[in-house]
Amino acid sequence: MRIVKNGKEPAYVRELVELYRQGKLPAGRLADVDVYHDDDCAIWTGGTCNCEPEVKVRPDRRHMRRDD
């Protein structure tokens, strides 16, 4: 996932920050977060996210390497 720092962060970035504040998102592990955007979200056409995506934090893969 790439976060463009243009001062207008998409809504899901704020949600990630909120997850982090709640202790649900260990620092430095943003790669383990899945963001599901709506089909009509502008992000699919190169724009900035304008939907309210579903954000899911994956289980810590360091403890479950069996399916690699």
13/41 with CB nearer Zn ion:
41
Asked if 51 interacts with Zn ion (CB under 5 A), we say: yes
Q: How far is CA 38 from the centre of its chain?
A: 14
Maximum Cα–Cα distance across the chain: 40
Touching Zn ion, residues 12-41 (CB under 5 A): 37, 41
Please pick, from the candidates 16, 33, 49, 55, the single residue that binds Zn ion as defined by CB under 5 A: 49
Please pick, from the candidates 9, 19, 32, 53, the single residue that binds Zn ion as defined by CB under 5 A: 53
Three-state SS for 55?
strand
